[in-house]
Amino acid sequence: MRTQVAIIGGGPSGLLLSQLLMRAGIETVVLERQTRDYVLGRIRAGVLERGAVELLHRAGCGDRLGDESIAHEGCNLSTVNGMFRVDFQARVGESVTVYGQTEVTHDLYAAQDALGATIIHEAHNVALHDLEGGAPWVSYEKDGQTHRIDCDFVAGCDGFHGISRQSIPGDKRTEYERVYPFGWLGVLSRTAPAADELIYANHPRGFALASMRNPTLSRYYIQVPLSDTVEQWSDQAFWDELRRRLPASVADSMQTGPSIEKSIAPLRSFVVEPLRWGRLFLVGDAAHIVPPTGAKGLNLAASDVHYLFETLRAAILDADAAALDQYSTRALTRIWGAMRFSWWMTSILHRFPDQSDFDQKIQEAELRQLETMESAQVTMARNYTGLPY
Protein backbone atom coordinates (compact mmCIF):
# COMPACT_ATOMS: atom_id res chain seq x y z
CA MET A 1 0.00 0.00 0.00
CA ARG A 2 1.15 3.54 -0.70
CA THR A 3 -0.06 6.90 0.58
CA GLN A 4 1.26 10.42 0.96
CA VAL A 5 0.80 10.72 4.74
CA ALA A 6 0.66 7.75 7.13
CA ILE A 7 -1.06 8.78 10.35
CA ILE A 8 -0.33 6.71 13.46
CA GLY A 9 -3.26 6.93 15.86
CA GLY A 10 -6.98 7.21 15.19
CA GLY A 11 -7.99 9.51 18.01
CA PRO A 12 -9.26 13.07 17.46
CA SER A 13 -5.91 14.51 16.34
CA GLY A 14 -5.23 11.74 13.83
CA LEU A 15 -8.75 11.83 12.42
CA LEU A 16 -8.81 15.64 12.23
CA LEU A 17 -5.47 15.75 10.44
CA SER A 18 -6.63 13.10 7.99
CA GLN A 19 -9.88 14.99 7.37
CA LEU A 20 -8.11 18.28 6.62
CA LEU A 21 -5.51 16.64 4.38
CA MET A 22 -8.07 14.63 2.41
CA ARG A 23 -10.22 17.72 1.83
CA ALA A 24 -7.10 19.36 0.40
CA GLY A 25 -6.57 16.42 -1.96
CA ILE A 26 -3.75 14.75 -0.01
CA GLU A 27 -3.90 10.97 0.48
CA THR A 28 -3.80 9.51 3.99
CA VAL A 29 -3.95 6.18 5.78
CA VAL A 30 -4.77 6.08 9.50
CA LEU A 31 -3.54 3.21 11.69
CA GLU A 32 -5.27 2.68 15.04
CA ARG A 33 -4.37 -0.02 17.56
CA GLN A 34 -7.83 -0.25 19.10
CA THR A 35 -11.28 -0.93 17.69
CA ARG A 36 -13.56 1.92 16.65
CA ASP A 37 -15.91 1.16 19.55
CA TYR A 38 -13.00 1.42 21.99
CA VAL A 39 -11.92 4.79 20.58
CA LEU A 40 -15.47 6.11 20.79
CA GLY A 41 -15.76 4.86 24.37
CA ARG A 42 -12.93 7.00 25.71
CA ILE A 43 -14.07 9.66 28.16
CA ARG A 44 -11.99 12.78 27.71
CA ALA A 45 -12.12 16.57 27.68
CA GLY A 46 -15.14 18.71 26.99
CA VAL A 47 -14.00 22.36 26.71
CA LEU A 48 -13.01 23.68 23.28
CA GLU A 49 -11.23 26.93 22.50
CA ARG A 50 -12.42 29.09 19.62
CA GLY A 51 -9.47 27.97 17.48
CA ALA A 52 -10.42 24.30 17.87
CA VAL A 53 -14.06 25.02 17.05
CA GLU A 54 -13.08 26.97 13.93
CA LEU A 55 -10.77 24.17 12.83
CA LEU A 56 -13.54 21.59 13.18
CA HIS A 57 -15.86 23.74 11.07
CA ARG A 58 -13.07 24.16 8.52
CA ALA A 59 -12.78 20.36 8.38
CA GLY A 60 -16.49 20.03 7.67
CA CYS A 61 -17.25 18.57 11.11
CA GLY A 62 -19.03 21.45 12.78
CA ASP A 63 -22.75 21.00 12.10
CA ARG A 64 -23.67 18.96 15.18
CA LEU A 65 -21.19 20.90 17.27
CA GLY A 66 -22.94 24.12 16.28
CA ASP A 67 -26.35 22.69 17.14
CA GLU A 68 -25.60 20.87 20.39
CA SER A 69 -22.66 22.63 22.05
CA ILE A 70 -22.92 25.05 24.96
CA ALA A 71 -21.13 28.42 25.00
CA HIS A 72 -19.54 29.41 28.29
CA GLU A 73 -18.69 33.06 28.71
CA GLY A 74 -16.90 32.65 32.02
CA CYS A 75 -16.07 30.29 34.87
CA ASN A 76 -16.30 30.30 38.66
CA LEU A 77 -13.55 29.89 41.24
CA SER A 78 -14.35 28.85 44.81
CA THR A 79 -11.93 29.68 47.64
CA VAL A 80 -11.94 29.78 51.42
CA ASN A 81 -13.19 33.37 51.08
CA GLY A 82 -16.15 32.53 48.83
CA MET A 83 -16.83 32.13 45.11
CA PHE A 84 -16.19 34.60 42.32
CA ARG A 85 -16.59 34.59 38.54
CA VAL A 86 -14.16 35.47 35.76
CA ASP A 87 -16.13 36.88 32.85
CA PHE A 88 -14.35 35.91 29.62
CA GLN A 89 -16.59 38.03 27.42
CA ALA A 90 -16.14 41.14 29.54
CA ARG A 91 -12.37 40.70 29.82
CA VAL A 92 -11.34 39.54 26.34
CA GLY A 93 -14.51 39.28 24.26
CA GLU A 94 -14.23 35.49 23.93
CA SER A 95 -15.95 32.35 25.17
CA VAL A 96 -15.28 28.61 25.23
CA THR A 97 -17.46 25.82 23.89
CA VAL A 98 -18.56 22.80 25.93
CA TYR A 99 -18.75 19.74 23.65
CA GLY A 100 -17.39 16.36 24.69
CA GLN A 101 -14.34 14.85 23.01
CA THR A 102 -16.34 11.68 22.44
CA GLU A 103 -18.80 13.71 20.36
CA VAL A 104 -15.93 15.32 18.44
CA THR A 105 -14.62 11.84 17.63
CA HIS A 106 -18.06 10.69 16.47
CA ASP A 107 -18.25 13.68 14.14
CA LEU A 108 -14.76 13.08 12.76
CA TYR A 109 -15.46 9.40 12.08
CA ALA A 110 -18.66 10.32 10.24
CA ALA A 111 -16.81 12.89 8.13
CA GLN A 112 -14.00 10.46 7.36
CA ASP A 113 -16.47 7.77 6.36
CA ALA A 114 -18.16 10.24 4.00
CA LEU A 115 -14.81 10.88 2.29
CA GLY A 116 -14.03 7.15 2.03
CA ALA A 117 -11.01 7.41 4.33
CA THR A 118 -8.75 4.43 4.93
CA ILE A 119 -8.74 3.81 8.69
CA ILE A 120 -7.21 0.52 9.73
CA HIS A 121 -8.25 -0.54 13.23
CA GLU A 122 -6.58 -3.22 15.34
CA ALA A 123 -3.23 -2.51 13.71
CA HIS A 124 -0.66 -4.02 16.06
CA ASN A 125 3.14 -3.88 16.39
CA VAL A 126 3.39 -0.72 14.33
CA ALA A 127 6.97 0.20 13.43
CA LEU A 128 8.37 3.23 11.62
CA HIS A 129 11.25 2.84 9.15
CA ASP A 130 13.73 5.03 7.23
CA LEU A 131 12.42 8.24 8.75
CA GLU A 132 15.55 10.20 7.90
CA GLY A 133 15.47 9.33 4.22
CA GLY A 134 13.16 10.41 1.46
CA ALA A 135 11.09 7.22 1.42
CA PRO A 136 9.81 6.34 4.91
CA TRP A 137 7.55 3.36 5.43
CA VAL A 138 5.42 1.86 8.16
CA SER A 139 4.89 -1.79 9.04
CA TYR A 140 2.08 -3.26 11.13
CA GLU A 141 0.39 -6.55 11.90
CA LYS A 142 -3.29 -7.33 11.46
CA ASP A 143 -5.09 -10.67 11.44
CA GLY A 144 -1.79 -12.51 11.78
CA GLN A 145 -0.20 -10.90 8.72
CA THR A 146 2.46 -8.21 8.37
CA HIS A 147 1.63 -5.25 6.13
CA ARG A 148 3.66 -2.36 4.73
CA ILE A 149 2.68 1.23 3.91
CA ASP A 150 5.07 3.35 1.85
CA CYS A 151 4.60 7.08 2.33
CA ASP A 152 6.13 10.53 2.04
CA PHE A 153 5.52 11.61 5.64
CA VAL A 154 4.50 10.08 8.97
CA ALA A 155 2.33 11.89 11.53
CA GLY A 156 2.67 10.48 15.05
CA CYS A 157 -0.73 11.01 16.67
CA ASP A 158 -0.55 7.89 18.84
CA GLY A 159 -0.47 9.38 22.31
CA PHE A 160 1.98 9.42 25.19
CA HIS A 161 2.59 5.66 25.16
CA GLY A 162 2.74 5.27 21.37
CA ILE A 163 5.62 4.22 19.16
CA SER A 164 6.10 7.52 17.34
CA ARG A 165 8.03 9.48 19.97
CA GLN A 166 10.10 6.40 20.80
CA SER A 167 11.11 6.20 17.14
CA ILE A 168 13.19 9.36 17.59
CA PRO A 169 16.66 8.36 18.88
CA GLY A 170 17.07 9.14 22.56
CA ASP A 171 20.11 11.35 21.96
CA LYS A 172 18.15 13.40 19.42
CA ARG A 173 15.23 14.35 21.65
CA THR A 174 14.95 16.26 24.91
CA GLU A 175 12.11 15.55 27.32
CA TYR A 176 10.86 17.96 29.97
CA GLU A 177 8.59 16.61 32.69
CA ARG A 178 6.97 17.44 35.99
CA VAL A 179 4.92 14.76 37.74
CA TYR A 180 2.39 16.03 40.28
CA PRO A 181 1.91 14.24 43.63
CA PHE A 182 -1.82 13.65 43.21
CA GLY A 183 -4.43 12.51 40.72
CA TRP A 184 -7.97 13.36 39.69
CA LEU A 185 -10.81 11.00 40.52
CA GLY A 186 -13.41 11.66 37.84
CA VAL A 187 -17.06 10.64 37.68
CA LEU A 188 -19.46 10.91 34.76
CA SER A 189 -23.16 10.88 35.67
CA ARG A 190 -26.48 11.35 33.88
CA THR A 191 -27.45 14.28 36.07
CA ALA A 192 -28.06 17.97 35.49
CA PRO A 193 -24.88 20.03 35.97
CA ALA A 194 -24.36 21.61 39.37
CA ALA A 195 -24.06 25.07 37.81
CA ASP A 196 -24.43 26.82 34.46
CA GLU A 197 -20.66 27.24 34.17
CA LEU A 198 -17.62 25.35 35.44
CA ILE A 199 -16.64 25.69 39.09
CA TYR A 200 -12.98 25.29 40.10
CA ALA A 201 -12.67 24.83 43.85
CA ASN A 202 -9.61 25.37 46.05
CA HIS A 203 -10.55 23.73 49.35
CA PRO A 204 -8.53 22.70 52.42
CA ARG A 205 -9.47 19.07 51.65
CA GLY A 206 -8.21 19.39 48.08
CA PHE A 207 -9.18 20.56 44.62
CA ALA A 208 -12.58 19.89 43.03
CA LEU A 209 -14.12 20.66 39.65
CA ALA A 210 -17.78 20.72 38.66
CA SER A 211 -17.99 20.41 34.89
CA MET A 212 -20.44 19.12 32.28
CA ARG A 213 -20.82 17.61 28.82
CA ASN A 214 -24.42 18.67 28.11
CA PRO A 215 -27.56 19.68 30.07
CA THR A 216 -28.12 16.10 31.26
CA LEU A 217 -24.55 14.78 31.50
CA SER A 218 -22.18 16.01 34.21
CA ARG A 219 -18.48 15.48 34.81
CA TYR A 220 -16.99 15.96 38.27
CA TYR A 221 -13.48 15.61 39.67
CA ILE A 222 -11.81 15.63 43.06
CA GLN A 223 -8.12 15.61 43.91
CA VAL A 224 -6.99 12.32 45.46
CA PRO A 225 -3.64 10.78 46.49
CA LEU A 226 -1.89 8.77 43.79
CA SER A 227 -2.12 5.75 46.09
CA ASP A 228 -5.93 5.72 45.89
CA THR A 229 -7.78 3.27 43.66
CA VAL A 230 -11.21 3.52 42.05
CA GLU A 231 -12.36 0.57 44.13
CA GLN A 232 -11.82 2.60 47.31
CA TRP A 233 -14.37 5.15 46.19
CA SER A 234 -18.04 4.20 46.16
CA ASP A 235 -20.39 6.57 44.39
CA GLN A 236 -21.74 7.74 47.73
CA ALA A 237 -18.25 8.43 49.09
CA PHE A 238 -17.43 10.46 45.97
CA TRP A 239 -20.59 12.58 46.16
CA ASP A 240 -20.09 13.20 49.88
CA GLU A 241 -16.52 14.38 49.35
CA LEU A 242 -17.42 16.51 46.34
CA ARG A 243 -20.12 18.27 48.34
CA ARG A 244 -17.61 19.07 51.08
CA ARG A 245 -15.33 20.83 48.60
CA LEU A 246 -17.92 22.80 46.61
CA PRO A 247 -19.66 25.94 47.92
CA ALA A 248 -22.65 25.08 50.11
CA SER A 249 -24.97 27.03 47.82
CA VAL A 250 -24.05 24.63 45.02
CA ALA A 251 -23.63 21.42 47.01
CA ASP A 252 -27.05 21.64 48.68
CA SER A 253 -28.94 21.59 45.38
CA MET A 254 -26.63 19.39 43.32
CA GLN A 255 -28.17 16.34 41.66
CA THR A 256 -26.42 13.02 42.23
CA GLY A 257 -26.83 9.59 40.72
CA PRO A 258 -25.05 6.38 39.71
CA SER A 259 -21.71 6.88 37.99
CA ILE A 260 -21.55 5.71 34.38
CA GLU A 261 -17.77 6.08 34.31
CA LYS A 262 -15.25 6.44 37.11
CA SER A 263 -11.47 6.66 36.83
CA ILE A 264 -8.35 8.14 38.40
CA ALA A 265 -5.94 10.07 36.19
CA PRO A 266 -2.43 11.04 37.30
CA LEU A 267 -1.32 14.58 36.49
CA ARG A 268 1.88 15.50 34.67
CA SER A 269 3.39 18.23 32.53
CA PHE A 270 5.47 16.83 29.68
CA VAL A 271 7.02 18.20 26.48
CA VAL A 272 9.43 16.63 24.02
CA GLU A 273 11.61 18.65 21.65
CA PRO A 274 11.89 18.71 18.69
CA LEU A 275 8.55 17.65 17.22
CA ARG A 276 10.13 16.62 13.93
CA TRP A 277 12.63 13.89 13.14
CA GLY A 278 13.28 13.53 9.42
CA ARG A 279 9.91 12.66 7.87
CA LEU A 280 8.20 12.08 11.25
CA PHE A 281 6.11 14.74 12.98
CA LEU A 282 4.72 14.42 16.52
CA VAL A 283 1.20 15.64 17.28
CA GLY A 284 -0.89 15.88 20.44
CA ASP A 285 -0.18 13.62 23.40
CA ALA A 286 2.73 12.01 21.54
CA ALA A 287 4.46 15.37 21.93
CA HIS A 288 3.08 16.82 25.15
CA ILE A 289 0.88 16.20 28.17
CA VAL A 290 -0.72 18.96 30.23
CA PRO A 291 -2.56 18.72 33.55
CA PRO A 292 -6.29 18.92 32.74
CA THR A 293 -6.72 21.92 35.04
CA GLY A 294 -6.41 24.39 32.18
CA ALA A 295 -8.55 22.38 29.70
CA LYS A 296 -5.74 22.38 27.13
CA GLY A 297 -5.15 18.75 26.14
CA LEU A 298 -7.49 18.46 23.14
CA ASN A 299 -7.04 22.13 22.29
CA LEU A 300 -3.27 21.80 22.04
CA ALA A 301 -3.70 18.74 19.84
CA ALA A 302 -5.96 20.81 17.58
CA SER A 303 -3.39 23.59 17.23
CA ASP A 304 -0.69 20.99 16.45
CA VAL A 305 -2.95 19.65 13.71
CA HIS A 306 -3.44 23.16 12.37
CA TYR A 307 0.30 23.78 12.13
CA LEU A 308 1.08 20.36 10.67
CA PHE A 309 -1.70 20.60 8.10
CA GLU A 310 -0.32 23.92 6.91
CA THR A 311 3.19 22.44 6.82
CA LEU A 312 2.26 19.34 4.85
CA ARG A 313 -0.01 21.21 2.47
CA ALA A 314 2.82 23.60 1.63
CA ALA A 315 5.37 20.80 1.26
CA ILE A 316 3.15 18.51 -0.85
CA LEU A 317 0.99 20.87 -2.89
CA ASP A 318 3.37 23.83 -3.21
CA ALA A 319 6.64 21.87 -3.20
CA ASP A 320 7.85 24.11 -0.36
CA ALA A 321 10.39 21.90 1.41
CA ALA A 322 11.39 24.77 3.71
CA ALA A 323 7.95 24.59 5.33
CA LEU A 324 8.92 21.29 6.97
CA ASP A 325 11.40 23.08 9.22
CA GLN A 326 8.76 25.43 10.62
CA TYR A 327 6.35 23.00 12.25
CA SER A 328 8.26 22.23 15.44
CA THR A 329 9.10 25.83 16.28
CA ARG A 330 5.60 27.14 15.58
CA ALA A 331 3.85 24.40 17.52
CA LEU A 332 6.23 24.50 20.49
CA THR A 333 5.75 28.23 21.00
CA ARG A 334 2.05 27.69 21.62
CA ILE A 335 2.63 24.45 23.55
CA TRP A 336 4.87 26.13 26.10
CA GLY A 337 2.37 28.98 26.53
CA ALA A 338 -0.39 26.49 27.31
CA MET A 339 1.99 24.46 29.48
CA ARG A 340 2.69 27.53 31.61
CA PHE A 341 -1.02 28.27 32.00
CA SER A 342 -1.91 24.68 32.92
CA TRP A 343 0.93 24.57 35.46
CA TRP A 344 -0.24 27.88 36.96
CA MET A 345 -3.86 26.75 37.25
CA THR A 346 -2.71 23.52 38.87
CA SER A 347 -0.41 25.28 41.31
CA ILE A 348 -3.01 27.76 42.60
CA LEU A 349 -5.93 25.34 42.92
CA HIS A 350 -4.50 22.13 44.42
CA ARG A 351 -3.27 21.29 47.89
CA PHE A 352 0.21 19.80 47.69
CA PRO A 353 1.35 17.18 50.25
CA ASP A 354 4.36 19.25 51.35
CA GLN A 355 2.54 22.58 51.29
CA SER A 356 3.54 24.84 54.20
CA ASP A 357 1.45 27.54 55.85
CA PHE A 358 3.49 30.09 53.88
CA ASP A 359 2.74 28.28 50.62
CA GLN A 360 -0.96 28.29 51.48
CA LYS A 361 -0.95 32.04 52.15
CA ILE A 362 0.76 32.68 48.81
CA GLN A 363 -1.85 30.56 47.08
CA GLU A 364 -4.65 32.50 48.76
CA ALA A 365 -3.01 35.82 47.82
CA GLU A 366 -2.79 34.68 44.18
CA LEU A 367 -6.48 33.83 44.16
CA ARG A 368 -7.36 37.12 45.87
CA GLN A 369 -5.51 39.04 43.14
CA LEU A 370 -7.36 37.04 40.51
CA GLU A 371 -10.63 38.00 42.20
CA THR A 372 -9.88 41.71 42.58
CA MET A 373 -7.52 42.70 39.74
CA GLU A 374 -8.89 43.18 36.25
CA SER A 375 -5.46 42.68 34.69
CA ALA A 376 -5.14 39.25 36.36
CA GLN A 377 -8.55 38.27 35.03
CA VAL A 378 -7.63 39.45 31.52
CA THR A 379 -4.53 37.25 31.57
CA MET A 380 -6.47 34.24 32.79
CA ALA A 381 -9.33 34.78 30.35
CA ARG A 382 -6.98 35.19 27.39
CA ASN A 383 -5.17 31.96 28.20
CA TYR A 384 -8.29 29.99 29.09
CA THR A 385 -10.18 30.90 25.92
CA GLY A 386 -7.08 30.20 23.86
CA LEU A 387 -3.92 31.88 22.66
CA PRO A 388 -4.01 32.71 18.92
CA TYR A 389 -2.69 30.18 16.41
Q: Which residues are catalytic?
A: 72, 200, 292, 296, 384
Q: What share of the chain is helix, strand, coil (3-state, %, to 5)?
A: 40, 30, 30
Which is nearest to 334 in space by CA: 312, 309, 311, 301? 301
User: Which distant-in-sequence residues (6+ apart) come within 8 Å of 371 by Cβ?
Assistant: 77, 79, 81, 84
Cβ contact 274:171 at 8 Å? no
How many Å apart are CA 48 and CA 301, to the nearest integer? 11
How many Å apart are CA 7 and CA 2, to the nearest integer? 12
Helix 50-58 to helix 297-317 angle, to the nearest 10 degrees? Answer: 40
Buried b (16+ CB within 10 A) or exposed e, 182-214: bbbbbbbbebbbbbebbbbbbbeebbbbbbbbb
CB atoms within 10 A of CB 156: 30
